[in-house]
Structure 1
Amino acid sequence: MTKNPMRRRAAVAAVATVLSLALAPASFADGGPVPERPVSTTSQDPQPLPTSPAAYELGEELAGLAGKELEVTFLAAIIRHHEDAVEMAKLERERGADADVRARAENIVSGQQDQIDRFTRWLREWYGLTPQQAREQAPAEAREEMAAMDQETRRRIGELRGTPGGKDFDVAFVRRIIPHHSAGIVQYLEVQSRADHHRLRQAASAGITAQQSEIEDFRARLAGGRK
């Protein structure tokens, strides 16, 4: 399927507008994000890892969908996305040293597990689908982008598991949860404004607000603004 240039520009503009409130300035070329800043490998000035390009591509795919197809594809993607966030947050809860970061990780576990349960229930009630069935019904290009995001996320979780516990683990977790949240915001954008179900639009709006707030706080921690 050929990409629609107008859809690409609209999706990129929406992403840039929303993420600019929480993220460092980013530039876009032909619809793809350029990493926000060179990623530092030093403990003195750690930077978040870049958001996966596949997240922006999935945002474009969602921008071209509507009705049932938009909702089913989004729910399939966000449920898996939240499951990965819960997995990372549980690791921080178990192995991190910073009490506040661990507390925020606990909030991620409880809040995103609640959304996983709610979204799974809505899929069943509205469309009679499990998350796996919803994923199988998604358009081919959306499935490709979801698979690319899965691969990237599994790699980053593997790196996190290989990080020693303690303060280094806190930093490694924060560097990975920031781009993960950014990818979640990209997915939320289309359903926030165009989902058929009002409850889903409300949930998307709340999700954007919550993840923006956490991104801002975690970025401040990396920059040394909060101890």
Structure 2
Amino acid sequence: MLPTLTRGRQITAAAASLTLAATLLGGATAPVLAHGEATQVSSHSQTEMLQPDPTSPTAYEFGETLAGLEGEELEITFLAEIIGHHRAAIEMAQLELERGTSPDIRTHAENIIANQQHQIDQFTRWLDEWYGLTPEEAMAQAPAEAQEEMKVLEEETQMMVEELSAVEAGEDFDVAFVQKMISHHNSGIIEFLELQSRADHAQLRVASSAGITAQQAQLADLRTWLAGQN
């Protein structure tokens, strides 16, 4: 059992992360029920209301898990998750370039591909240099709770990509891409929060802060664009 003081610090860190996340994300969260299940909103209703997809409750759970980790374990677990998260964003952005029609949103997709591929390369290199691990090996070394959450997040992200792949080219695709990318960026910011202040390596703290800044700026633009489509 963890000492009382240590548990207290972890609980405080988790609470602070969730409070900051809610502030950064503008309350863009999925309503959570007693057992952590989000209320379901049909994709048809979301399209009519032109609201972003809800942020996964599992992303917040993973943020709490990161808040309870320290040092090498914190960095390895984060890097194992964020690399896959970025890969999914790039996959969706590539679909936008293939099927979208809005010049503004296509520009955002190009920026997402460039920025997140840069971080994937950076993070993969650091995992190897610092810990001698591939992203897959890092995931296998993560705590069991984190592995379970990462598995759920991967499944949810894959479903997001599949849903987007089913949308036909045109203006509707732009809307669907923005709705899903807002949710995806929200999750990314949650994952970055602990690392920007508590990563052992200064390079990772700087990269996490840069990731938050870039995704916050994109979120503001995407939300403004989506609101203008009503």
Per the TM superposition, whether the score is higher than 0.5 is: yes
Question: What CA RMSD, in Å, does the superposition of the two structures yield over aligned residues?
Answer: 2.8
- Could you give the per-residue CA deviations for residues 139-196 of structure 1, whole angstroms, max 9, x where no partner exists? 0010000000011111111110000111000000000001110111111011111100
Contact in 1 for aligned 2:99/2:169 (Cα 8 Å): yes
1:105-116 correspondence to structure 2 within 5 Å: 105-116=109-120
The reply to whether residue 206 of structure 1 matches residue 210 of structure 2 is yes
What residue in structure 2 maps to residue 68 of structure 1?
72
The reply to whether residue 143 of structure 1 matches residue 144 of structure 2 is no
| Aligned pair partner of 1:194 in 191, 195, 198 | 198
1:121-140 correspondence to structure 2 within 5 Å: 121-140=125-144
- Could you give the per-residue CA deviations for residues 179-221 of structure 1, whole angstroms, max 9, x where no partner exists? 1101111110111111000000000001011111111111111
TM-score, scaled to structure 2: 0.88
The reply to whether residue 180 of structure 1 matches residue 165 of structure 2 is no
What residue in structure 1 maps to residue 16 of structure 2?
13
Label 1:107 to 1:173 Cα distance change in 2 as closer, same or farther (>3 A): same
Label 1:95 to 1:65 Cα distance change in 2 as closer, same or farther (>3 A): same
What residue in structure 1 maps to residue 124 of structure 2?
120
Q: Name the CA distance, whole Å, in 2 between partners of 1:205 and 1:221.
A: 25
For 2:23, give the aligned amino acid.
S
Label 1:134 to 1:95 Cα distance change in 2 as closer, same or farther (>3 A): same
Contact in 2 for aligned 1:8/1:31 (Cα 8 Å): no
Label 1:29 to 1:45 Cα distance change in 2 as closer, same or farther (>3 A): closer
Aligned length: 224
CA deviation after TM superposition for structure 1 residue 12, in Å: 3.8
Match of 1:41, SS? helix
Contact in 1 for aligned 2:79/2:127 (Cα 8 Å): yes
Can you give the 5+ residue segments of structure 2 that lack an aligned partner in the other structure? none
CA deviation after TM superposition for structure 1 residue 31, in Å: 11
The reply to whether residue 165 of structure 1 matches residue 165 of structure 2 is no
Can you give the 5+ residue segments of structure 1 that lack an aligned partner in the other structure? none
Larger CA deviation: 25-34 vs 163-172: 25-34
Q: Name the CA distance, whole Å, in 2 between partners of 1:221 and 1:125.
A: 40
CA deviation after TM superposition for structure 1 residue 40, in Å: 7.1
Q: Name the CA distance, whole Å, in 2 between partners of 1:22 and 1:125.
A: 33
- Could you give the per-residue CA deviations for residues 84-116 of structure 1, whole angstroms, max 9, x where no partner exists? 000001000111010110011000001100000
Q: Name the CA distance, whole Å, in 2 between partners of 1:70 and 1:207.
A: 17
- Percentage identity across paired residues of the two chains: 52
| Aligned pair partner of 1:89 in 81, 84, 93 | 93
- Could you give the per-residue CA deviations for residues 10-44 of structure 1, whole angstroms, max 9, x where no partner exists? 42432332442442466878896977x99872655
Q: Name the CA distance, whole Å, in 2 between partners of 1:123 and 1:96.
A: 35
